[in-house]
Structure 1
Amino acid sequence: MPLWIAATIFAAFMQNMRFALQRQLKVTTLSTGGATWARFAFSVPLVGLALLGYLAMSGQDMPRIGTGYWPYVIIGGISQMTATACVVALFARRNFYVGITLKKSEVLLTALIGLLVLGEAVSGPVLIAIGVGFAGVLVLSDPPKEIGLPWTARVFNAASGYGLASGLLFGVSAVFYRGAILSLEGGDAPLRAALALLTATFIQTALLGLWLAIREPGQITAVIASWRISSLTGLTSMLGSMGWFIAFALQTAAYVKALGQIELLFTFAFSAFWLREKTSRNEVIGIALIIASLALILWAGLRN
């Protein structure tokens, strides 16, 4: 099995666990910003230790930072941080499974962003898949009907906005992270991935921590007080992000994100058997359309 496939499947599994933990933080003790910051703050030291440990074991030198690295990693980090906040806010509006599925518009958008930013072209079948996936997102974003509420208000709602915004921003972060990793010179894929991840996570922790200190006094203290869950959030975040970054170092972002749709299966199992949440007919149709579109993207990617 190619390393990028194994890394992607592992990353998707860990990401599902991390979102479940963040959901718990959001609905119990923390604000959207606090639950988002918990992910980054507790993962920074873990990423740093992983980087130092891998350097010592592999005997490699630290990769050299090439042209374009800092713009790529800063834009990628800010996009990922904002996207994570959108997903956390979404948990309060729709059930866990549908929230994650709406976020999956990131795969449909990553192919387009990758073409525009890195020149990594997509094929005709991928463009067809984008249309199918968009239809699925529209179906998913239509909540249960309410008397007197027009169709436009049911489709273009806050839940839909959070889901699509997170998808766009996660797509931006994936492409820009790949650009950052490719701009590093020297070292193997895991080492370059670890350095880019450490840089991005440190930037995210500092920026969001400053925001919380100014705009939400007390949230940083609350995050520290919830260390039992927050530390697990940081651990799963570090493991999942390392998987994504290694995959981005080896394969185009669009195909990595396409394979990452296996997360939907993990999420469905968690939602059905742990949270015992129910899914409506519209949600099933929307999910089926999105899965079909992403399967087509993956098929096209594996042919190349």
Structure 2
Amino acid sequence: MQILATGLMVVLFKQKNFAIGAGLAKSEAPVAAFLGVLFFGTSLSLFGWLGVAVGAIAVFMLSCPDGIRSISLKTALIGLACSTSFALTSLWVREASLTLTLPFPHRAAWVLLLVILLQTLLLVAYMLVNNRSTLKRMFTKPKLVVMTSIASFIGSLGWFSAMSLQTVPLVKTLGQVEVFFTILISFFWLKEGIKRKDIFALFLIAIAAVLVMWQ
């Protein structure tokens, strides 16, 4: 499911209104909440649901500057399929972690190892059959590949560890604070301006984070 979700995210890169699609892809917190309650035995308090809802509104505001009319049906469907795939990945990761009778954080680390191993075998096999030229080009940029892999590994270990301790919707809602750091990078490094609407959305993300921590 994570391979499918990442593939759908790459498809979103090619859409004209990418920001909207990416925002919908980041709406996995409410999707995980509904799927978790329906199929995975997840329970949320009133504060938890409120935090998930506030976080979803904030992400929508950041990704749809022109409102709901700016969303095309194609991009919306791809974005929602992407967020659903990411949500299912997270829910199954949590289920896998809970089945292991190991102390924290060893169970999350073992699940991460198995997930990365399976993904590597599947993707390398696919590229050997269908796209050897891209696989060869990766070996010409070893430093970039290694640094990207290390950063991805650290991020994944953090996600997997958090999801082994707490329900997925709350972890994903709290994780939306990454948007704050993304905007800081765009402001200080890329010299891009920040709109008042974006500042208000960041304030909502902060409120959502506080709500899920109180739940």
| TM-score in terms of structure 1 length | 0.59
For 2:85, the equivalent position in structure 1 comes to 169
For 2:34, the equivalent position in structure 1 comes to 112
Query: In angstroms, what is the RMSD of aligned CA positions?
Result: 3.4
How many percent of aligned residue pairs carry the same amino acid?
A: 33
Q: 1:88 to 1:142 in 2, by over 3 A?
A: same
Q: Unpaired runs of 5+ in structure 2?
A: none
2:141 is the counterpart of 1:226: yes
Output one character per residue of 1:14-62: Cα deviation in whole Å (capped at 9) or x when no partner: xxxxxxxxxxxxxxxxxxxxxxxxxxxxxxxxxxxxxxxxxxxxxxxxx
Give 1:169 shift: 1.7
Higher relative contact order (CA 8 A, sep 6+): 1
Give 1:174 shift: 1.2
Output one character per residue of 1:108-141: Cα deviation in whole Å (capped at 9) or x when no partner: 2222222233212123344445555555555555
| TM-score in terms of structure 2 length | 0.80
Q: 1:256 to 1:232 in 2, by over 3 A?
A: same
For 2:214, the equivalent position in structure 1 comes to 303
Matches within 5 A, 1:185-264: 185=101, 187-264=102-179
Greater alpha carbon shift after TM alignment, 126-135 vs 165-174: 126-135
Q: Give the letter for the 1:114 counterpart.
A: G
Output one character per residue of 1:239-263: Cα deviation in whole Å (capped at 9) or x when no partner: 1111111112222222222221221
Give 1:225 shift: 1.9
Q: Unpaired runs of 5+ in structure 1?
A: 1-78, 146-150
Give 1:156 shift: 2.1
Q: 1:223 to 1:247 in 2, by over 3 A?
A: same
Decide which of 182, 198, 203 is 1:267's aligned counterpart. Answer: 182
Q: How many residues align?
A: 215
Whole-angstrom CA distance in 2 between matches of 1:240 and 1:161: 27
SS of 2:105's equivalent? helix
Matches within 5 A, 1:16-95: 79-91=1-13, 93=15
Query: 1:141 touches 1:155 (CA, 8 Å); kept in 2?
Result: no
Output one character per residue of 1:270-293: Cα deviation in whole Å (capped at 9) or x when no partner: 2222233456677x38x81x862x
Decide which of 4, 7, 25 is 1:103's aligned counterpart. Answer: 25
Give 1:196 shift: 0.5
Give 1:182 shift: 0.3
Query: 1:100 touches 1:264 (CA, 8 Å); kept in 2?
Result: no
Decide which of 100, 104, 120 is 1:184's aligned counterpart. Answer: 100
Q: Give the letter for the 1:192 counterpart.
A: R
Whole-angstrom CA distance in 1 between matches of 2:193 and 2:176: 20
